[in-house]
Amino acid sequence: GRTNRPGDGMLGRDRNDMRKMMCNVFLTTTVGIEFWKRMCKEHGIRPDGTLEEDTNIGDVKDVFFYQADDDRYTPRAVLMDLEPKVIGGIKKGDYRGLFNPDNMWSASEERGAGNNWASGHAQGEAKAEEIFDMINREADNSDSLEGFQLCHSIAGGTGSGMGSWLLEALHDRFPKKLIQTYSVFPHSESDVVVQPYNSILSLKRLVLHADSVVVLDNASLHSIASNILHLENPDFPELNKLISTVMAAATAPLRFPGYTHASLSSVMSSLITTPRLHFLMAGYTPLSSLSPNAQIVRKTSLLDVMTKLIQPKNIMAHVPLNRGKYISLLNMIEGEVDMSQIWSCTQKIRDKHLSNAFIPWGPSGVQVMLSNSSPFTKTNQKVSGLMLANHTSMHHLLANCVRRFDTLFKRGAFVENYRNHGTLFAENLEEFTDSREEVNSVVEEYKACEKADYIDYGKVQSLENVIA
Amino acid sequence: RERMSLVRKTEEVLVADLFYVFQGLDGTYLKYSVDEERYQLDPFLSSTLPMGYKSLVLKLCELGLVYRKCSAYIEEYEQLYEDKKLGFVDQSFFAAIKEELHEYYKILAQMDDHNKTCTDTASKLTLKRVLFWSREPLQHLKLICTFLETSKSQGEGVITPLFEFSMHGNPAYSGLFQRLLFKASVPIFEIILTWVFEGTIQDPHNEFFIKTDQNCSQSHEDMWHKKYYLPYISTGDVQGMPPFVPVPIAESILRIGKSINFIKSCGKSLSPQDAKLQECMRSELLNPSIVISERIFDSLLSSVSLSIDTLLLDTIVKEFRFFDHVEAIKDYLFLGRDDFAEQFVSGVQKELKKPAVSIYRHNITSILDSAVQATKPRDEMSKILEHLTFGINLPKVEDKSTTGWEVFSLEYSISPPLHAIFTSRVTELHGQISGILWKVRRACHSLNTLWRRYQDSSLSIKPVFEVQPLLHRSYLLQSQMRSFLSNWVSFINYSVIHSSWKQFKNHTPYVNSFDELIEAYQKWVENISEYVLYGNRDKRWNHYFSLLLDLVMQFSNNQEELISDTLLLANERKHPPAPQILEINEDLLEDDTSDEVHETELEKAYREKLSSEHLLAFNKTSKDYKLLLATLGLTREHKDGELVITGVKELSFSLNFNNFY
């Protein structure tokens, strides 16, 4: 049962509860473990959940951790996989004592989702109560839950299929909580033939049920790994490290609160203007610091960092930036910088690189915020930065998915595999065309958003609805 | 020959007479004429004595005259002394003068002695010998006399003229006056020593250049800023300022004693090390061979002031945790911790929505406490943060329409002795700054809530397609408002508060005295107020800025209503009321066009409200918003006489980054 939400907004649910905790769901468990390793390091927590040293480092640990009865810190995390291998690895690894063992879920039989969205979706639905036992427990544990973070891939079976089911279910059961995803978009030259189907079906859920999606384009991740990190055969560990770096930097203001953006909603709302255009791109610098053989990084200034953050090579989405417009752009700077320079830096950046790069229908510009950083991860580079941006050229990435879907779907290839799982495809294949339309409408809206008359886009939508 | 012997005899008589004259008395032949104010020779002698002798005698009488003058001054003084009108300085000055006269008497006695015991006529005193002998005492007495005349006519006490006389190039002069100056200054030195080591003023005759304001309160603010003062500084009148105490020295003397009082009032005692310093300084200063000049205190004071300044700074910074307080003010009162501000504003709004008269203090207290605790302050900060409180300033006339928002303010209570830094003026600025930041925070929060409302309603609202044009424009207006507020907040937080905080922190290791610390802090707060309140210079800015924030609040409320209305309708469209459906279906069988006729009550009400109330409200808000931005000078060039305000250039640049306006 889904998205039947009678009385949404009418019921006297208290909207003013204090929100700030985050519950994290990882469907790519390898990223999960990498991310939590990093969290532990930043907050001075040992693999067994005890503190490195008992000093206050100006952080707020309970956004991402809770303290068990024995004072050990436990991640507010649920790790899920349809293949027991990775979870089995974690249960035997260094961090086995960190996670709540009840929050690690893997399908009992060793069959996975076979890269089939429908299989993942159906398996999720079948195990709904089991899974929501974990999630509800985490949610109940957080006396002021702000939202969920979901990390998954949209190409395979588990992350995309089960992830999609989870998005629907979370949206249904927690209609007022924010859902932020870190979604890995597939490489066009993948070995998984049905990947275009999986992607389009997942994207529909990302459009409808996620509040914000940080797009991590596999093509860009690979080119960063080979061109910047100089890895000959970029492997999962490096890519996972990249992803967890982005996630860590994006959540730093929540965990090390400063002057602004200390809540997920304040970060998201400064980037997302209209509800459907919520596919964000991320950039990070200095990426070379993530290399296993990182060399010494030269001292960087605020201007350097801000300039690098808008260079395509540092951005984790392979899109033609110069052919679109920024809807919003947020720079999260970490490290020792002279903040009195913000104004002059943004001015220089605008005049040099961004003179006509923003949407014409409203005021927008480079926003800069200073993140506090962990004393435990002081690195040799003085300054680092994460850029999150809402850019209209994201429609190229989405349109690609639509195009690849169309090519495959026209031939009716492999659709039989989807009919065998769950109920969605039992009667017809409308779910496919439906999903395609949903994604395509976002592509269209992103295109419309580049023009000044976007202000009247509501009329178009309204008209379309009437026709429909 | 006979005449010669007569002259010689006369000379002897006259020499004997002169001894009387020299003591200001009348002799047998030499008598003081009150009318002519000089000594006169007996008329008989005057006519018989040769001209040369006569003038010699009269010349010698000058010493007598000078002596008479001196003793007249001294008598005058003794009269004053009996009347208790003389200060310690004058007392010791006249004592010194008397000592000088005493020397003079000694010489007279010696001379008299010599004359009486001398049997040899040839070595008896002659007028010429007396003249020779009296030259020095005369000069001496004359100097004293001139000085007394000058100082009396100037009426500024004796120290200043003494100091000037002591600068004379002639060592005979300067020696005498240094001697007198030293003796006259000893009481001042004593007062200074008591002040700089004990912090008390023992000055019954009001001779000290530092004064006490008896009327000021006992607060630490007044104790530091008002109670002790240099009249010279406020009036520019040098009276009472010893010339060997230049203004900077006087200020540092003032500061030292003030600091001692301040430290004592903090319940601390001075270190034993100071006793040593005191002994050292006392023996140096009270040594008669000291040369009194403008530089006398330079080296003497520096070690004392260094030690006391360090002690006071340490007390304030370490014991009274000054920097922790400033951090608490920056992060909590000025809402520099976003997580605190967000949690508090969202927690407290339920309470503050109520009418002002019916809010419960203890509710707010517990919300404030939990918001503070949620930021996980360091243990020592938790204690400091108890100073974070709030005020409810109820209007005098009870008015049900006043909500909690209008009467609530965050406050920071200052405990002694920090009032000296957080003076009432500074505290007032704190309040004003915090007030604006709080109001902005409330507007930001309401926009944030609205944004979340947009997010979580967007799917459910879909069936009500006719609201889309308005809603879409609302999204964009919301984002315009957010853009303005977040630019303002970023600008204030990063470019103003954070940058000047860094400056303030970096500067503090170089702060040498409490006054410098007070000044540095004041500068920090004033800099913030310059940008947050625009220095209170142009009330119009504050007025329009408040209007803008009110508009944001109003917009949020209107939108909230629009969305609630729309969701009601969306729900009805999704789940049409069952009995009516049957009716409609029956009708439909007969008449296909009855769709509109059977519009439900809700549909009808919504349609009307949307096209009138909601649309009008939106258009008005949108127009007003543009107008206010322009009025604030943010979206167009300034013309002469319009608001030209610090920081507006930066703000309007960020706001207009993509040249939208």
- Considering only the beta carbons, identify the residue of A19, A343, A465 that sits closest to B468: A465
What is the average pLDDT across B282-307? 81
CB contact under 8 A, A368 and B482: no
Each residue's pLDDT tens digit, B227-271? 888 887 677 666 667 888 888 888 888 888 888 888 888 888 776
Range picked from A95-109, B118-132, B327-341, B586-600 for highest mean pLDDT: B327-341
Q: For residues B196 and B253, is the Cβ–Cβ distance under 8 A? A: yes
* Chain centroid offset of residue B527 CA: 17
Out of A95-109, A330-344, B558-572, B585-599, which region has the weakest mean confidence (pLDDT)?
A: B585-599
Using the predicted structure, report yes or no on whether residue A1 has a pLDDT greater than 50. no
Phi, psi angles (nearest 5°) of residue B37: 55, 40
Q: Which long-range contacts (CB under 8 A, 24 or more apart) does B532-536 make?
A: B532/B432, B532/B433, B532/B436, B532/B437, B532/B492, B532/B496, B533/B429, B533/B432, B533/B433, B533/B436, B534/B645, B534/B646, B534/B647, B535/B646, B536/B432
Each residue's pLDDT tens digit, B459-483? 999 889 899 999 999 999 999 999 9
Rounded Cα distance, B118 and B12, in Å = 13
CB contact under 8 A, A456 and B469: yes
Each residue's pLDDT tens digit, B540-575? 888 889 999 999 999 999 999 999 999 999 999 888
- Considering only the beta carbons, identify the residue of A8, A276, A347 that sits closest to B653: A347
Distance from CA of B418 to the nearest CA of A (A): 26
For residue B453, the model assigns a pLDDT of 94
For residue A3, the model assigns a pLDDT of 29
Q: Give the nearest chain B residue to A267 (CA atoms).
A: B448
Q: Give the nearest chain B residue to A176 (CA atoms).
A: B456
Q: Give the nearest chain A residue to B331 (CA atoms).
A: A259
Distance from CA of A268 to the nearest CA of B (A): 9
Confidence of residue B327 (pLDDT cuts 50, 70, 90): very high
Distance from CA of A439 to the nearest CA of B (A): 15
Q: Which chain B positions have a beta carbon within 8 Å of A6's beta carbon?
A: 571, 574-575
Axis-axis angle for helices B171-198, B247-265 (nearest 10): 20
**Top-confidence residue, A236 or B498:** B498
Average pLDDT, chain B: 85
What is the average pLDDT across B425-433? 93
Each residue's pLDDT tens digit, B209-222? 888 888 888 888 88
CB contact under 8 A, A9 and B376: no
For residue A17, the model assigns a pLDDT of 36
Q: Which chain A positions have a beta carbon within 8 Å of B467's beta carbon?
A: 462
- Considering only the beta carbons, identify the residue of B482, B494, B568 that sits closest to A259: B494
Other beta carbons less than 10 A from residue A89's beta carbon: 13
Rounded Cα distance, A58 and B23, in Å = 88
Confidence of residue B155 (pLDDT cuts 50, 70, 90): low
Whether ipTM tops 0.95, in short, is no
The answer to whether B342 faces chain A, any CB pair under 8 Å, is yes
Of A2, A3, A147, A163, whose CA–CA distance to A80 is shortest? A163
Q: Which chain B positions have a beta carbon within 8 Å of A213's beta carbon?
A: none
Each residue's pLDDT tens digit, B31-90? 888 888 888 888 887 787 788 888 888 888 888 888 988 888 888 877 877 777 778 888
Using the predicted structure, report yes or no on whether residue A447 has a pLDDT greater than 90. yes
For residue B579, the model assigns a pLDDT of 56
Tell which B residues from 484 to 503 touch A, by Cβ distance under 8 Å: 484, 486-487, 489-491, 493-495, 497-499, 502
The answer to whether B292 faces chain A, any CB pair under 8 Å, is no
CB contact under 8 A, A339 and B656: no
- Considering only the beta carbons, identify the residue of A8, A366, A455 that sits closest to B476: A455
For residue B92, the model assigns a pLDDT of 87
Confidence of residue A110 (pLDDT cuts 50, 70, 90): low
The answer to whether B373 faces chain A, any CB pair under 8 Å, is no
What is the average pLDDT across A264-277? 94
Burial (CB count within 10 angstroms: exposed 0-12, middle 13-18, buried 19+), residue B506? exposed
- Mutate: best of B349, B444, B487, B490, partner A, most A CBs <10 A: B490
Q: For residues B655 and B634, is the Cβ–Cβ distance under 8 A? A: yes
Confidence of residue B5 (pLDDT cuts 50, 70, 90): confident
The tokens of A45 are what?
Answer: 């927590």
Distance from CA of A253 to the nearest CA of B (A): 9
Each residue's pLDDT tens digit, A163-200? 999 999 999 999 989 999 999 998 776 677 899 999 99
For residue B644, the model assigns a pLDDT of 54
Rounded Cα distance, B650 and B654, in Å = 6
- Considering only the beta carbons, identify the residue of B377, B650, B661 that sits closest to A363: B661
Q: What is the pTM of this model?
A: 0.86
For residue A378, the model assigns a pLDDT of 65
Of B556, B540, B560, whose CA–CA distance to B481 is shortest? B556
Q: Give the nearest chain A residue to B489 (CA atoms).
A: A260
Using the predicted structure, report yes or no on whether residue B583 has a pLDDT greater than 60. no
